[in-house]
Amino acid sequence: MPELPEVEQVRISLLPHIVGKTIEKVRVDLPKMILHPEPEIFARQLQGARFTGVQRRGKYLRLDLEKGCWILIHLRMTGALLALPKTAPEPPFTRMAFFLSGEENLYFTDIRTFGVAALVGEDSWRDKGYEGLGPEPLDPGLTPGYLREKARGKTAVVKAFILDQTILAGLGNIYADEALFAAGIRPTRRVNRMTRKDWEALTLAIRDVIRQGLEHHGTTFRNYQDADGNMGDNSLYLQVYHRKGRPCKRCGALLKQIKVAGRGSVYCPHCQK
């Protein structure tokens, strides 16, 4: 699933393809992906709208339109936004097509079909997940004190805690495992067993792994690509994710995989306490 660095790369790569372009027509092939309004109304209201910018919050993309409206998109597992010349064939797994002014069209492709889109701002409908997002890893508001305060009175395991988008926006399985490794904390540690020092180490680690992911244009394992169809390079730099049974790059112990919060979680039994 694309996480903060991957979605940010999609945002950056989309900008030159859509900003200033007008939507001439929208074709929705998979009605269930439109959260709001009804798919026909969604398509009709977008006709003639012009893109003014692209923003990101957590793992959400916000394609801004004139008059204060935007298309809210969550790519979920395998969603992608691809800009292609009008002369090129439509990409496989196209679920929605934006026919734009100019030389290119924009395609929302999705193999697993969990991706969603909504038109926001025309009425009072708002997406709860988007509205409830916590601070971003690189926000000044994300401090060890903030996380400690949020954890007060809770007994959740730390991995579930940092995956909770209302606490912290943008982390998914890859960057959560990487941050916990960098901080030396096991994914199963209860948040009420975290010291002040642990929170400091974890906050720094979260910032570091996200920065590194951004620098390498995201992590591609299977499906993730940006609007130009490019993949990210960050998988080369990962320490634990997808490395079950392989030696820890720090100590040589074999990495273990367990299920935490319903997700496969890889950690080093020697480096992470």
Which positions are catalytic?
Answer: 2-3, 59, 263
Q: Which stretch binds Zn ion (CB under 5 A): 8-16, 114-122, 216-224, 265-273?
A: 265-273
Helix axes 196-215, 173-183, angle to 10 degrees: 130
- Residue closer to Zn ion by CB (options 89, 252) is 252
> Radius of gyration of the chain from Cα atoms?
20
Task: Report the distance separating Cα 30 and Cα 108, nearest Å.
Answer: 10
254 makes contact with Zn ion (CB under 5 A): no
CB atoms within 10 A of CB 229: 12
Residue 251 binds Zn ion (CB under 5 A): yes
Q: Is 244 in the site for Zn ion (CB under 5 A)?
A: no
CB of 102 to Zn ion, least distance (A): 51
Among 73, 96, 118, 271, binds Zn ion (CB under 5 A): 271
Least CB distance from residue 256 to Zn ion, whole Å? Answer: 10
Residues 6 or more apart in contact with residue 195 via CB below 8 angstroms: none
Q: Which is nearer to Zn ion, 108 or 267 (CB)?
A: 267
Q: Half-sphere exposure (CA, 13 Å, Cβ side) for 57?
A: 15
CB of 175 to Zn ion, least distance (A): 18
Pick the binder of Zn ion from 28, 205, 231, 268 (CB under 5 A). Answer: 268
Q: Are 261 and 180 in contact (CB under 8 A)?
A: no
Strand partners for 46? none
- Strand, coil or helix: 212: helix
Of 74-82, 86-94, 161-169, 247-255, which part binds Zn ion (CB under 5 A)? 247-255
Identify which range of 22-30, 140-148, 188-196, 262-270 contacts Zn ion by CB under 5 A. Answer: 262-270
- Kindly state the tokens that stand for 217: 């244009």
Tell me the closest approach of the beta carbon of residue 266 to Zn ion, in angstroms. Answer: 11
By CB under 5 A, the count of residues binding Zn ion is: 7
183 near Zn ion, judged by CB under 5 A = no
Q: How far is the CB of 203 from Zn ion (least distance, A)?
A: 21
Q: Which is nearer to Zn ion, 197 or 270 (CB)?
A: 270
Burial of 70 (0-12, 13-18, 19+ CB in 10 A): buried
List the one residue from 248, 260, 261, 266 that touches Zn ion (CB under 5 A).
248
The answer to whether residue 250 forms part of the interface with Zn ion (CB under 5 A) is yes
- The closest of 56, 94, 99 to 78, measured between CA atoms, is 94
Please report how close the Cβ of residue 272 comes to Zn ion at its closest, in angstroms: 7
Task: Quote the CA–CA distance of 178 and 6 in Å, as a whole number.
Answer: 15
Q: What is the C-alpha to C-alpha distance for residues 178 and 59, in angstroms, rounded to an integer?
A: 17
Binding flag, residue 240, Zn ion (CB under 5 A): no
Structure tokens at 126: 């708002």
Task: Examine residue 270 and tell whether it contacts Zn ion (CB under 5 A).
Answer: yes
Point out the residue whose Cβ comes nearest to Zn ion. Answer: 248
Hey, how many other C-beta atoms are within 10 angstroms of the C-beta on 63?
26
Which residues would be at the binding site for Zn ion (CB under 5 A)? 248, 250-251, 253, 268, 270-271
